[in-house]
Structure 1
């Protein structure tokens, strides 16, 4: 990055943070000296002469509204690219969501339903055909830095397709004491800093020599599980607040979670909710406020990493030939519907941030097209001219990257969560349903016909009134159930259908 532009970026930080939350500016320093990285595979195939580079920043449990606190993301990605306001995680939990992104497939096809158990965990995923292997076949240099699906055995072989398989070993959500697959171990350190420098190191190595695809899988803002913490591996129980890098330990004091302004926060009446959640008590705001602040502070270091990557790409002359993506594996509830966490099919958990900057993308644009992580996989494959070696379920949205008003074929998206219980009537599944532009619908698979929800988001954008038993919506419910059954075992293009108009709800008497 030229010296004058570096000064401009640093100055913008203070202006944006002050405008958003009235806090101190975030400084940007050059990334640290890169560590030695292990190269697990090489390819000699020549890529297309116009092959673009791709850098994906994948955060862990980031809410869509967290974007407002990240000045570099706002100025270097959002103002220079396209923001998707209706991006979704099709399976909002770490391991299944990441498997969906790597494979471009729903869980019924890639086999990963949960973080652990008989139907989950990294062992359930077959890495032999992923966006990494397709990119390697096309002549790309490839790297994955940071968190894998969730856990990973240090004695297991590297996943195929990655030139640099640079993942974190267990515990993969320890911010301060951590070990990489190549054996590099750090104590009393900060994981985001190391992921930042390792990402920049690959750009410096490959720029000008061959096109590259880099996944920078950051830990922030996930709950912190140090080596001493005893988490259950599936949620946030037993964890601690994510620690901030020293530079941001006192940033943004006094901010209030945006969730507090949502009518769904500590929802007043939960009696219409399914029985397994209807009895939840209200949550104390103060711990949620501390959690929100810790999450945002941890993301400020990811924001800085984005600035370092943009600077490295510009320094190497690769910025205008690179698609830069920022997204998350899932969203996160901060007290909406009296819940904190993920692995549920409510709006704030399904919603993920998605910003893309790159060649041909109009600057400062927004798209309301509903897209999912598997669509992102299909889109990257299209942009990179890759040939998937298996059937993928996503619908690429390249036309929308050229024109934000462009829409796709699909009008109904499959959404689901998994379960570990192998003895259930429908093993491996918890909630399954569909999302349309207007409705959210799902059933708890093993708990009878009244366990589930139907929300009319046009009338009820905060999902307060469960209409599953409302006779006015009987025809709507039947059609959404039919669409779910059509999509439940879908594969490939069959997952992306235009079902046509839905029935109208009957008017109230």
Structure 2
């Protein structure tokens, strides 16, 4: 009897000990989860301009998942890139995004704009702060900076553009070298027998790029250890050309129902310096309304297909249990003309080419609100750092717009300055915008009131009643050029003209 009593006491003691240990472990896990910093899910489009989301005003485009994201967060209607130092505008744009530095502050200019070791990138900062950093899709600023910043990744594309159905990509390389090449791959669509070497360790054939990168992100979300915060960067190559998508998405759009942009022109009124660039050769000269409609159909269809993949990613995030603790960001690397002002590309400083979508949602962020505050892409880095209470690196030049996220009356910037190569500069303050050109010895100026003329159709430069506004803004633009050390204009004729 005594032995049985002892056994019972021992058994109860063991059960009590197990219960206490389990309770302590659960309490510890709960405390860990409560103290864990918010995750970041950064969704990034390629060539998607502002005004291409249904919930934000474009009633012709189908974007149900981006609409939901906008309804759950804050949308900024004046988000911009600062311009470009090469025709591959996406390269410096992405360098600005990743470094938080302005156009004249990124150390390298040109087609790839690699980020040097002395500048800490956004994923590097989050990695140092204890985040798992995951990257998939287009990485256009060099392999070295990707290796420094990302602790995980898959289906990584280091090029600028590709056939969306034959994507040359790398699996994550823990050595950071990414030096494998696949030899003797016939270029997709090629009518000759010339083979080429592709910079990748495998090529995914038959799966669209948007689905490929979404699948990689979903696999990460399903396998990630939720005890540690993550920074996941999903960089699509859509809707960049060559535009292709599953047939059912193209069939969602009837060209006869697509509106021609109000600022459509058969030709740009003067040589803006880039008529022979690849983007401008995608359509014939002069432009026709029917051809522009076809381009818009394909452009919209690619965005709709990408939107569906974004929906899949967000669903996986919800299934992981991390949705409520995740800040979701959606934006793009630059805009695109697609028929506006007689142009097709992004190598200009009109609103359609420098304006990008920007939506942010998540814990502590208001729902279903819009902001008119100005922001640059390179302001995102310090903003995200502030939102999760991480200190920005000293190399960051951007300004946090966290106050604007929380309060519609707050704005970090009062004016915006833009540049393209050495022959185009622009400046905006309030509703007025100035663009200056000097191409092949010819000077042209444009002055717009964007409140009355959002499509930049009416040039006010020659109207006397606006001359004082123009001169004031020109003076301010010159001052901004000095502040930003815009040295690329030192020996150019445009600078001589501006500083008269």
What range is the shorter-chain TM-score in? 0.7 to 0.9
| 1:390-446 superposed Cα distances (whole Å, 9 cap, x missing partner) | 33232212122223x23224211121112xxxxxxxxxx231231222111132367
RMSD: 2.9
Partner SS, residue 72 of structure 2: coil
Q: Partner of 1:86 in structure 2?
A: 78
User: Is 1:160–2:178 an aligned residue pair?
Assistant: no
Q: Which structure has the highest helix share of the two?
A: 2
User: Is 1:408–2:411 an aligned residue pair?
Assistant: yes
Q: Does the CA contact (< 8 Å) of 2:334 and 2:354 recur in 1?
A: yes
| Residue of structure 1 aligned with 2:111, choices 118, 121, 133 | 121
Q: Partner of 1:451 in structure 2?
A: 444
Partner SS, residue 414 of structure 1: strand
Unaligned runs of at least 5 residues, structure 1: 1-45, 113-118, 225-241, 419-428, 493-509
Q: Which structure has the highest strand share of the two?
A: 2
Q: Mark the CA change 1:210 to 1:50 in structure 2 (over 3 Å): closer, same or farther.
A: closer
Unaligned runs of at least 5 residues, structure 2: 1-31, 55-60, 172-200, 486-500
| Residue of structure 1 aligned with 2:312, choices 294, 308, 314 | 308
Q: Does the CA contact (< 8 Å) of 1:165 and 1:181 recur in 2?
A: no
Partner SS, residue 254 of structure 2: coil
Whole-Å separation in 2 of the counterparts to 1:393 and 1:204 = 35
Judge which range, 469-478 or 479-488, deviates more.
469-478
| Residue of structure 1 aligned with 2:467, choices 464, 467, 474 | 474
| Paired residues for 1:105-504 under 5 Å | 105-112=101-108, 119-126=109-116, 128-149=119-140, 158-166=146-154, 167-170=156-159, 172-182=161-171, 183-224=201-242, 242-254=243-255, 256-258=257-259, 260-262=260-262, 264-266=263-265, 282-403=286-407, 405-418=408-421, 429-444=422-437, 450-490=443-483
Q: Mark the CA change 1:178 to 1:244 in structure 2 (over 3 Å): closer, same or farther.
A: same
Q: Does the CA contact (< 8 Å) of 2:139 and 2:235 recur in 1?
A: yes
Whole-Å separation in 2 of the counterparts to 1:255 and 1:349 = 25
Number of residue pairs the alignment of both structures matches: 406
- TM-score relative to the length of structure 2: 0.74
Larger Rg: 2
Q: Does the CA contact (< 8 Å) of 1:47 and 1:211 recur in 2?
A: no
Judge which range, 387-396 or 185-194, deviates more.
387-396
- TM-score relative to the length of structure 1: 0.73
1:206 is displaced (CA, Å) by 2.3
Q: Partner of 1:49 in structure 2?
A: 35
Partner SS, residue 251 of structure 2: coil
1:302 is displaced (CA, Å) by 1.5
Partner SS, residue 464 of structure 1: coil
Judge which range, 407-416 or 469-478, deviates more.
469-478
Q: Does the CA contact (< 8 Å) of 2:36 and 2:227 recur in 1?
A: no
Whole-Å separation in 1 of the counterparts to 2:351 and 2:148 = 35
1:476 is displaced (CA, Å) by 2.0
